[in-house]
Structure 1
Amino acid sequence: MVKVSGGQAVVKVMEKEKVKKAFCLPGESYLGVIDALYEHPSIQLISTRHEGGASFMAEAYAKASGEVGVCMATRGPGAANLAIGLHTAMQDSTPLVALIGQVERPFKGKEAFQEVEFTSFFSHLCKWTVEIESAERIPELLHRAFYMARSGRPGPVVVSLPHDMLEDTFEYMEQHVQHERAPLPSEESVVEALLKIKGAKRPIIIAGGGVTRTKSADLLVRFAQTMSVPVATSFRRFDAFPNSHSHYAGWLGFGTRKGLLDYIKQSDLVVALGTRLSQVTTGDYTLLGEQTKLVQVDISPDSIGKVYSPELGITADVKQFLRKALKLVAPVKDEEKELIVKELNEAYVAFSTAPKDYSEQYVDMDGMMYDIMRAFPKDAILTSDAGNFFGWLSRYYRFDCENTYIGPTSGAMGYGLPAAIGVKIAQPDKMVVSFSGDGGFMMTIQELETAVRFGIPVIAVVVNNNMYGTIRAHQEKQFPGRVIATGLSNANFAELARLFGCHGEQVTKNEDFLPALERARASGRPAVIEVLTNPDILSANQPKLDHSNGKTFH
């Protein structure tokens, strides 16, 4: 045993948990932890320009690396700023540990400087919140925090660290890292599920985060082919199934093809694999018809039956379920089911193939997606935040490799750029591109400096229509002719990027996009490509005017 400070003990636990990167905005209330990281041989501390950027980076790093993300902030305002990334981690089931400095123990309850009672503040945002009152309990409680973050349905955990506690010293006793075995399904439950799928006339699988987290897409491909079942992916889980595969029926969420929604509503069996069947995935909880039976497989019993009551609920790791199912299943040869799979896939391909529509006045998003589909390597990793630009990305991009899309199911704006930085740190050999609208990009644009300072060559595509486009679309639909609060004005993002030390370009017509992309990649620096789009086109499904004959077309 050695005598250490509370701050040093925190870092010892981080090292034992194999933490390699931590993201922070430095603060005086946890300087004891920061000091203990000084010249640490294996943990890199990445300081950001805003706590929201730090938590977004840590959350995306966790998704891209498969490890527990770590972020740190000071008390009060710092913790509040950090919350957006914690909420994202909760809704996305991302393992994350947030270390937050706290007021000195004798000052608590006196409305001390920046005082917030964290255990209640974060109680509904996180899986668990704990304040460590005694330095001697750091090894016990911090190891438990990491275990809580990654076990069961993963999620964020907040650990509150009083300033004075971090300066206390004690004799450190090393503890073991806590592990759990993924829950296995019973053979009986798997057999029952297989019989239900085999007996269904119009089945479909909905694949969610349980598939992406366990990297089970290859097993799901084999299962879908063996059972002759189409597969749809839940909201922002595109890479749970290869989009170019013959059994892919499309994605669920905003802008989903109506024919796919109709098929699911008329389906006699839905198999939900690792999805909590969120509000967006289910279209305000209207997705399943009255006659539809549900088989739900999820690692957390709390998710089963939370939205729809399943005929069969199986608490199990999705990968373990698929492995056991593939051992027990006999190939299903059913011409009617094969025809359904074929028709759904052909309809998806027709709906989701970008036309080569170019424009001279603005960048036509259809044409840009046509170019992107041919220019991006298959293993490129895309990040995005919320905005109407996302409709084109979700409709036209084909995600054929696992772990190639990282975005917030919470719909958080400002996520794209810091997430790309976190992803690139985790996957330095991959091309990493963020997509944002002008509204979302301005929320975390300051993280360009972080990318420059640490030499992280991400590419940020900013789709600029000078408005909060998603809200404008809702506004036009619900309150036509009464536009207020959604118009914006922007500086030249390409020039701003260059001032930060990035490569920056502004693109005003389609033919200039690919050359700008190539120059951005060749620069070896963080890069921003600002794309000016038509402010009158607010949706990928919106009819456009054919100027040659004055007609509109979809």
Structure 2
Amino acid sequence: MSAKPTPAAARLLVDCLAEQGCDRIFTVPGESFLQVLDALSDTPTVDLVTCRQEGGAAFMACADGAMTGRPGIAFVTRGPGATNASIGVHVAQQDSQPMILFVGDVDSTMRGREGFQEVDLPAFFGPIAKWAARIDHADRIPEYVARAYATAMSGRPGPVVLALPEDMLSADTQATPRARLSPPPQAPLPEAMQTMMALIADAADPVAIVGGAGWDARAREYFQLFAERTGIPVATAFRRQDAISPSSKVYAGNLGYGPNPKLVERVKRADLILAVGARLGEATTDGYTVPPLDHSNRTLIHVHPDPNELNSVYPADLAICADMGEFAETAALWDDDDGIDFDAGARANAEWRDWATAHTGDFPLDMASCVQFMRDTLPADTIVCNGAGNFAGWWHRYWRYEGWPSQLAPTCGAMGYGLPAAVAAALRFPERTVVAVAGDGDFLMSAQELATAAQHGANLIVIVVDNGAYGTIRMHQEREFPGENRISGTRLANPDFATLGAAYGAWSAFAETTEQFKDALVAAEGRSGLRLIHCKIDIEQLAASGATVSKLRGG
């Protein structure tokens, strides 16, 4: 029996993606895009990663976009597949990460009849994506794919969703792919840079807040040069801790939930804030209080690649719309800094180092000591991936995100992100150590992606911190509604995670003391493949993490 040829439309779609540099697609297969799967079967340049749930596939695509700066790509089917994948779109939107989700759609003749698994996909995804559309004509596939890439990468990066009607994918077409696109260059105006340097020179107590939309290795390198030359303390936005090297002499720590109280006070009293890439959203600013939203004696210089973000919440005294790398390089090479030389950067760095040094606690398995031991044991450029929950506070405080990229963590507080992100990282950087850290509630949101990791040979370590509860929510319960027998809905009955890991083919270990964790980590580091360490901790260790995590869904 002769092979059925791939429909021209599906072949064109895959060729368009390859032309844009797509080398990996994350998917849960569906009958609505069988034509695309067939086209991928003879496209060796694109690695097809088969996932176990559409939310995991979307998380992986979001993380891949965060690491590469070009859209991570996911394919899912209509209805249940699309709605499952929506969490990854939400994360990509709030995290400002480039991503494109392709959704197999109902046949166009079925549309509007509530066909099988029908959802109005542009209407459904419109509020949580930069752009959501349907490709109704095969001849326009190159146009839509090129626009999707441009939209996902330009200005504030974010997700695009394209619906693919089943009959459209089977159509004939003579169209050809468009050439590879890159974001347009956005250099800062010299006049704006001159004004910025004058404002900084006039400041007495400035602070920089960096990381976010469009931040990349170039921005990290050059902004660090600029900050070290001027001595400005540099704080990173929430879960953007790899935006500057922690070994920099001006690194002041991270903002968000559970920051150093001394850093909080420094930002509040600053007479000048230089925000670069950061949206200054609710999480970074602790509800728009760090820095205060209204402050008559403070100057705000806000640099962002998207004009819609400038002056949207915080009023800027100087708004600069520019690409992060272009801005950072211009600042670093600026040859007229009026002799700017602050000593506050060194003082802020000393305060952070004191805050971020772990001291042995009283718990049998002390997580602060465990993270400190991880720092001493694993490579400096280890990529650490986590979802949401109080457990993440130990890594936020005590880990050093030295490499780029080295922190994959959702700023929108989505549970279940860490393991899928780690799978994407292990496939993208097979030569680097990758660690997924998860709470018990967080982990079971996406534990099935252990199968994906095993199937595709991902080389990673998973650390599950098990306190038998949705810990963050319980912390809030005890704070807001104290008293006997007031714990409701947050207790968890968990499996033996080490045995679960072994069932997926992982080397696994159980630890309930700090020494057992150290032994397990050394053993794990000496192996390759999938490895899992189940850490059993006391629920009362929540407060000891030093990470009072407010308004985050987590466990």
Aligned counterpart for 2:397 among listed residues 390, 395, 401: 395
Query: What whole-Å deviation, never above 9, does each CA across 1:352-389 have from its counterpart, x for those lacking one?
Result: 10113474xx3111211221121121111111111111
Residue 485 of structure 1 aligns with an amino acid whose one-letter code is G
Distance in 1 between residues matched to 2:528 and 2:362, nearest whole Å = 28
Distance in 2 between residues matched to 1:381 and 1:536, nearest whole Å = 28
**Matched residue SS, 1:519:** helix
Structure 1 counterpart of 2:189: 186
Query: CA RMSD for the aligned pairs?
Result: 1.7
Structure 1 counterpart of 2:73: 70
Distance in 2 between residues matched to 1:220 and 1:180, nearest whole Å = 20
- For the pair 1:49 / 2:55, whether they are aligned, the reply is no
Aligned counterpart for 1:346 among listed residues 343, 350, 357: 350
Residue 325 of structure 1 aligns with an amino acid whose one-letter code is A
Contact 2:305 2:322 (8 Å CA) reproduced? yes
Aligned counterpart for 1:506 among listed residues 493, 504, 510: 510
- For the pair 1:321 / 2:321, whether they are aligned, the reply is no
Normalised to the residue count of structure 1, the TM-score between the two structures is 0.94
Normalised to the residue count of structure 2, the TM-score between the two structures is 0.94
Distance in 2 between residues matched to 1:380 and 1:492, nearest whole Å = 27
Residue 313 of structure 1 aligns with an amino acid whose one-letter code is A
Residue 94 of structure 1 aligns with an amino acid whose one-letter code is Q
- For the pair 1:159 / 2:162, whether they are aligned, the reply is yes
Distance in 2 between residues matched to 1:182 and 1:428, nearest whole Å = 31
Contact 1:358 1:367 (8 Å CA) reproduced? no
Structure 1 counterpart of 2:263: 260
- For the pair 1:124 / 2:158, whether they are aligned, the reply is no
Contact 2:210 2:277 (8 Å CA) reproduced? yes
Aligned counterpart for 1:409 among listed residues 403, 408, 411: 411
Aligned counterpart for 2:232 among listed residues 224, 229, 232: 229
Query: What whole-Å deviation, never above 9, does each CA across 1:186-231 have from its counterpart, x for those lacking one?
Result: 1000000011011100101000124733542221121112222111
Distance in 1 between residues matched to 2:246 and 2:313, nearest whole Å = 27
Distance in 1 between residues matched to 2:426 and 2:70, nearest whole Å = 14
Q: What does residue range 6-25 of structure 1 map to in structure 2 within 5 Å?
A: 6-25=9-28
Distance in 2 between residues matched to 1:461 and 1:445, nearest whole Å = 12
Contact 2:223 2:332 (8 Å CA) reproduced? no
Contact 2:387 2:415 (8 Å CA) reproduced? yes
Structure 2 counterpart of 1:305: 311
Unaligned runs of 5+ in 2: 548-555
Q: What does residue range 411-450 of structure 1 map to in structure 2 within 5 Å?
A: 411-450=413-452
The structural deviation recorded for 1:514 is 2.2
Structure 2 counterpart of 1:551: none
Distance in 1 between residues matched to 2:226 and 2:51, nearest whole Å = 43
The structural deviation recorded for 1:180 is 3.6
**Matched residue SS, 1:505:** strand
Contact 2:24 2:49 (8 Å CA) reproduced? yes
Distance in 1 between residues matched to 2:229 and 2:445, nearest whole Å = 46
Structure 1 counterpart of 2:212: 209
**Matched residue SS, 2:385:** strand
The structural deviation recorded for 1:288 is 2.4
Residue 29 of structure 1 aligns with an amino acid whose one-letter code is S
The structural deviation recorded for 1:27 is 0.5
Aligned counterpart for 1:96 among listed residues 89, 94, 99: 99
Number of residue pairs the alignment of both structures matches: 538
Contact 1:58 1:70 (8 Å CA) reproduced? yes
Q: What does residue range 22-33 of structure 1 map to in structure 2 within 5 Å?
A: 22-33=25-36
User: Cα gap change, 1:110/1:372 in structure 2, threshold over 3 Å: closer, same or farther?
Assistant: same
User: Cα gap change, 1:94/1:210 in structure 2, threshold over 3 Å: closer, same or farther?
Assistant: closer
Distance in 2 between residues matched to 1:377 and 1:440, nearest whole Å = 25
Aligned counterpart for 1:487 among listed residues 480, 487, 491: 491
Distance in 2 between residues matched to 1:214 and 1:154, nearest whole Å = 16
Mean CA deviation greater in 138-147 or 309-318: 138-147
**Matched residue SS, 1:172:** coil
The structural deviation recorded for 1:307 is 1.7
The structural deviation recorded for 1:346 is 1.6
Residue 303 of structure 2 aligns with an amino acid whose one-letter code is V
Distance in 2 between residues matched to 1:284 and 1:440, nearest whole Å = 24
Residue 499 of structure 1 aligns with an amino acid whose one-letter code is A
Query: What whole-Å deviation, never above 9, does each CA across 1:49-88 have from its counterpart, x for those lacking one?
Result: 0000001111112222333210010001100000111111
**Matched residue SS, 2:252:** strand
The structural deviation recorded for 1:110 is 0.7
The structural deviation recorded for 1:172 is 2.9
Structure 1 counterpart of 2:550: none
Distance in 2 between residues matched to 1:98 and 1:334, nearest whole Å = 46
Residue 385 of structure 2 aligns with an amino acid whose one-letter code is T
Distance in 2 between residues matched to 1:142 and 1:165, nearest whole Å = 15
Distance in 1 between residues matched to 2:78 and 2:390, nearest whole Å = 35
Contact 2:377 2:522 (8 Å CA) reproduced? no
Residue 74 of structure 2 aligns with an amino acid whose one-letter code is C
Identity %: 36
Residue 521 of structure 2 aligns with an amino acid whose one-letter code is L
- For the pair 1:497 / 2:513, whether they are aligned, the reply is no
The structural deviation recorded for 1:91 is 1.1
Distance in 1 between residues matched to 2:214 and 2:200, nearest whole Å = 19
